[in-house]
Each structure stands twice: as C-alpha cells, then as structure tokens.
C-alpha cells in the first residue's frame, strides 16, 4: 500500500468511526470532490427552492401570511448563502458554482422543478417538502465534515419553524371551506410523487459513496421511512388522503408503498421538469441584472 493509500485508509476509518474533520485538515481528493458535489447541490437547492414560494408572496391571503412567507423565503436564501460559503472553503469558487447551476452541469433537488399552482401548494411545500428536507438535514448534523455539520444546527432550527408555518397554513385550510380543503388535497395529490422520490432510490447505504465517507449518516430508504412514519399519520389525521392505494405500515413497522417513478426523478433533476428551464432563466436574468452590484462591491 502506498503512503497516500495508507493515509486515505486511515482517514476513512476515522470518519467511519464517527470522527469529524475541519477545512484545515488533510482531506483525500475523492472525499473533497464528493463533499463539494453534495454541498453544492444542497446550496443550489436552497437557492432554487425559494422560487416556487416567492411567486406567492404577492398573492398571500393575509398580511400575516405574507410576512411569514417572506421570512421563510429569506431564511432559505440565508441557507444558500451559508452552504455556498462552506463549498467555497473547499475550493470551488462561487462564480463557478453559479455557472454550473445555470448550464445544467450541477443539479438541484427534484421538488423545486415543479409549479406552485395554488395557495394549497404553499402549505404543502412548507409542511411536507420541508419535512422531507429536514430529515436529510438532521442526519447531516453528524456529517464527517465539521463546518457543514455546524451550520446545519442553525438551518435545522429554522427548518422546523418552516414546518410549523406550513402545518398552520394547511390546518387553516382544512378547517375552512370545502373549496379550501379541496385545494390542499389536490396539492397533496400532485406533490406525493415528487415527495416519494425526494430521498432518492433505495440503494443500500453501504453502496452509497456519500455514506461511505460519512457525508451522509443515513441511507435513502431509512430517510424515506422516517418521513412516512412521521408524516403519513398526520396527513390522515387531517382527513387528507394519500394518492397511493398500496401505502400502509406493515406489522414489522416498515412502510410499504408503490414504487416511486425513478425515471421521472432522473428526467426532472437533469433539467427536464415542468419548471426547470423557466426557473433557471429567472436566475440567469437576475445574475446578469445584478452584476453591477457585485462589481461595485468588489471594486470598493
């Protein structure tokens, strides 16, 4: 074994036993590259994830709802800022990350490629999409890369507030008129597929390179099971139905469900979702429009 391979093996054993590393530590090239890819996609998702909700700030039904939604959107942009900083520290400049996002080379999460058709979507996104996201993000508190794990504390705290906001929107509608209830049900029907795809295909965690390096501390299926266990009973309790007749909790406590559409997931995250290009165009336009601000800050 070469000296480098031995060092890499030692690093692997260290992170697999729960050890955490800092940006100033020696990092294997493969680890650094996987970390950047993972963190960059997370940052892109926070940044692109504000767009579906942003559309509803002007259309929010009351002043209180408008304030809460505005605050949530600001939180998400803040998350993007924090996470991009961590990726920058690992060696990828932000300009390059934006260029890769806009060219389609770097991805963002599937759920942010879909339209927000009604106010019901706003509730379902903040409640269930943020719930799915917080499951992954809570698992990142144990990430082997300490700077990323640290910022997750602040992010998870804010995400749990987003879930409360979403649940409140959904509750208000479910205790409202039949038309409001119908808007929520219709939103759940449309979002269920993307939500089930959210945690990715059920590859064994031992075969997942992100788990191997302990960037992630749980497997995809574990995360999905946690989501189902935490939220399906709540969805049912509100009188909503889930559009999957096979969904149920087995005697062994494991949830069974119809196979998510993995082909759709692949096509959506590679930029072929119903709103992918429109949202990337939006980002492109704003990056160009605000270039003078960045240039004057750099010049100052």
Residue ranges in contact with Fe ion by CB under 5 A: 46, 76, 79, 130, 159, 162
Let me know: does 131 contact 163? Beta carbons within 8 Å. Answer: yes
Q: Which is nearer to Fe ion, 46 or 121 (CB)?
A: 46
Residue where the block lists tokens 């479910």: 174
> Shortest distance, CB of residue 125 to Fe ion, whole angstroms?
9
Half-sphere exposure of 218 (CA within 13 A, CB side): 19
> Shortest distance, CB of residue 73 to Fe ion, whole angstroms?
9
- Count the neighbouring beta carbons within 10 Å of the beta carbon of residue 69: 22
> Shortest distance, CB of residue 91 to Fe ion, whole angstroms?
24
> Shortest distance, CB of residue 36 to Fe ion, whole angstroms?
19
Q: Which is nearer to Fe ion, 8 or 159 (CB)?
A: 159
Give the list of residues 6+ apart from residue 88 with CB closer than 8 angstroms, or none: 94, 97
Q: Which is nearer to Fe ion, 40 or 46 (CB)?
A: 46
What's the CA gap between 217 and 206, in Å, rounded? 11
Q: Which is nearer to Fe ion, 90 or 129 (CB)?
A: 129
Q: Which is nearer to Fe ion, 47 or 188 (CB)?
A: 47
> Shortest distance, CB of residue 249 to Fe ion, whole angstroms?
27
């Amino acid at each position: 074994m070469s000296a480098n391979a031995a060092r890499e093996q030692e690093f692997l054993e260290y992170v697999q036993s729960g050890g955490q590393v800092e940006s100033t530590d020696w990092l294997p090239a493969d680890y650094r590259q996987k970390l950047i890819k993972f963190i960059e996609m997370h940052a892109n998702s926070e940044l692109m994830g504000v767009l579906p909700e942003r559309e509803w700030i002007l259309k929010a039904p009351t002043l209180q709802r408008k304030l809460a939604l505005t605050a949530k959107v600001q939180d998400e942009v803040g998350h993007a800022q924090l996470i991009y900083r961590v990726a920058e520290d690992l060696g990828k400049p932000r300009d390059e990350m934006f260029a890769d996002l806009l060219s389609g080379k770097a991805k963002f999460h599937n759920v942010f490629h879909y339209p927000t058709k009604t106010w019901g979507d706003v509730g379902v996104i903040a409640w269930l999409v943020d719930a799915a996201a917080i499951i992954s993000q809570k698992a990142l508190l144990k990430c082997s890369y300490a700077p990323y794990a640290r910022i997750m504390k602040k992010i998870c705290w804010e995400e749990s507030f987003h879930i409360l906001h979403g649940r409140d929107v959904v509750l208000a509608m479910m205790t409202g008129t039949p038309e409001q209830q119908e808007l929520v049900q219709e939103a759940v029907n449309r979002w269920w597929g993307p939500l089930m795809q959210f945690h990715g295909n059920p590859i064994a965690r031992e075969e997942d390179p992100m788990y191997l390096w302990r960037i992630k501390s749980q497997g995809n299926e574990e995360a999905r099971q946690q989501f189902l266990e935490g939220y399906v009973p709540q969805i049912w309790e509100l009188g909503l139905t889930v559009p999957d007749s096979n969904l149920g909790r087995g005697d062994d406590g494991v949830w069974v469900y119809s196979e998510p559409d993995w082909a759709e997931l692949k096509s959506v995250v590679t930029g072929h979702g119903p709103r992918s290009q429109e949202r990337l165009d939006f980002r492109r336009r704003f990056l160009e429009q605000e270039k003078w601000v960045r240039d004057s800050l750099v010049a100052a």
